[in-house]
């Protein structure tokens, strides 16, 4: 693995070396490393690009790293990764995709991650998307995450895109059974002419299930962001979504929430706020000795922390 690839790995998965536990590293469409463990098996799909990650019931405190890196300009791929999480598991899954594009061609990664989470299992899923390179070729990333939670299962998803992705369409869908919980935390920053679209759709089907979606974003320069969320309450359930955006320069942000209650005991809330950095926040930090630019930087990094 060369320096560029190693840097991408560090950016998307905080990996400086081969991770402990199970992992699968995909570089320019090829397997660059894999390790299965006693409880976590990683298998190449036979019918299409991608892998199956099968985690045995009762596996606790184990992690899986599955980073994807693209360093060849113009490389385009569609990858299907399916996760089968057994009952009573408690595991962490670190995904992420980094693109280095120093050419003129478009590099594109489309990843479809499907989670089948069995009863009482607990999953923390972290994904980071990152792009770099001084070429004129675009970096495109279109991740799809499908989450199916069985009774009392819990999945917490942290998804971050801070830099270097020219265009993204991020789709997250979920179906929840009785007592299941889904927490999604999204952080996005766009700059230049970038475009980011986020789409959440959650079906709350089981009694006492709940979903909480929190999106924080910063749009700079002439970038454009769109946020769509649809929460469908089909039982006695709780759904909450929150879209909070800082708009700067000549950017554009759309927030379009939709709540549908199909059950009298469905409790659904949406909060959306779009606005520039409050002048009083800048002034406060300037009275502490920061310049306006330093104050702005602190406010943004705190907001996206």
Partner 1 sequence: MLELRDISYEVDDGEHREILKNINLKIDDHFVAVTGPNGGGKSTLAKIIAGIITPASGQIFLDGTDITGMNITERAKAGISYAFQQPVHFKGLTVKDLITLAAGRPMKISEICDILSEVGLCAREYIDREINNSLSGGELKRIEIAMVTARGTKLSIFDEPEAGIDLWSFNSLIHVFERMHQEINGMILIISHQERILNVADKIVLVNDGEVSAVGTKDEILPMLLNAEGSCKTLMDKTK
Q: Site residues (CB under 8 A) for partner 1?
A: 216, 244, 278, 280-281, 283-292, 298-299, 301-305
> Is 71:105 a contact under the CB 8 Å cutoff?
no
Report the residue number, 112 or 245, with the smaller CB distance to partner 1.
Answer: 245
Nearer to partner 1, 78 or 304 (CB): 304
Segment (H or E) for 259: strand 252-261
Select 49 or 298, whichever has its Cβ closest to partner 1.
298
Pairing of strands 50-55, 40-44: antiparallel
Phi, psi of 284 (to 5 degrees): -55, -50
Minimum distance from CB of 162 to partner 1 (Å)? 14
Compute the least distance from the CB of residue 188 to partner 1, in Å.
14
Taking the complex as a whole, the smallest distance from the CB of residue 196 to partner 1 amounts, in Å, to: 19
Task: Name the minimum Å distance from CB 281 to partner 1.
Answer: 5
DSSP 46-95: SSSSEEEEEE-TT-EEEEEE--EEE-STT-EEEEEEEEEEPTT-EEEEE-
* Cα angle for residues 32, 30, 67 (degrees, 5° grid): 60
Q: Give me the least distance between CB of 292 and partner 1, in Å please.
A: 7
Q: How far apart are CA 90 and CA 211, in angstroms?
A: 19
- Smallest distance, Å, CB 158 to partner 1? 14
Q: 283-291, long-range: CB within 8 Å, 24+ apart, which pairs?
A: none
Closer by beta carbon to partner 1, 95 or else 247 = 247
As measured in angstroms, the least distance from the Cβ of 9 to partner 1 is 27
**Closer CB to partner 1, 7 or 281, in the complex:** 281
CA distances for 59 relative to 55, 153, 251, angstroms: 7, 14, 45
Task: List all residues 6 or more positions away from 97 whose beta carbon is below 8 Å from its beta carbon.
Answer: 12, 67, 68, 69, 70, 109, 111, 127, 128, 129, 130, 141, 143
146 versus 244: smaller Cβ distance to partner 1 = 244
Q: Which CB sits closer to partner 1, 249 or 292?
A: 292
Question: Is the CB of 30 or the CB of 287 nearer to partner 1?
Answer: 287
- Compute the least distance from the CB of residue 240 to partner 1, in Å: 16
Tokens representing 201? 């759709």
Backbone angles phi, psi at 10, to 5 degrees: -65, -40
> How far, in Å, CA of 104 to CA of 160, rounded?
26
């Amino acid at each position: 693995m060369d320096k560029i690839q190693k840097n991408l790995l560090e950016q998307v998965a905080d990996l400086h070396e081969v991770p402990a536990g199970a992992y699968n590293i995909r570089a320019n469409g090829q397997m660059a490393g894999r390790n299965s463990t006693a409880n976590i098996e990683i298998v190449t799909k036979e019918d299409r690009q991608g892998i199956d990650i099968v985690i045995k019931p009762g596996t606790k405190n184990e992690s899986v790293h599955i980073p994807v890196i693209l360093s060849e300009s113009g490389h385009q791929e569609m990858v299907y990764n399916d996760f089968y999480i057994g009952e009573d598991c408690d595991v962490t899954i670190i995904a992420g995709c980094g693109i280095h594009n120093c050419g003129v061609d478009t590099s594109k990664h489309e990843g479809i991650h499907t989670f089948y989470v069995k009863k009482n299992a607990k999953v923390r899923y972290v994904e980071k998307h990152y792009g770099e390179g001084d070429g004129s070729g675009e970096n495109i990333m279109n991740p799809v995450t499908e989450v199916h939670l069985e009774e009392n299962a819990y999945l917490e998803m942290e998804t971050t895109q801070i830099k270097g992705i020219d265009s993204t369409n991020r789709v997250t869908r979920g179906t929840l059974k009785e007592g299941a919980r889904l927490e999604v935390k999204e952080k996005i920053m766009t700059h230049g002419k970038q475009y980011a679209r986020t789409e959440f759709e959650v079906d709350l089907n089981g009694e006492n299930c709940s979903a909480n979606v929190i999106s924080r974003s910063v749009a700079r320069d002439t970038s454009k962001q769109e946020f769509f969320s649809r929460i469908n309450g089909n039982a006695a359930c709780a759904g909450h979504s929150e879209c909070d955006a800082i708009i700067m320069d000549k950017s554009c942000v759309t927030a379009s929430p939709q709540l549908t209650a199909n059950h009298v005991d469905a409790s659904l809330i949406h909060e959306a706020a779009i606005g520039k950095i409050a002048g009083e926040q800048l002034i406060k930090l300037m009275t502490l000795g920061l310049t306006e630019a330093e104050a702005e930087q602190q406010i943004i990094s705190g907001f996206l922390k």
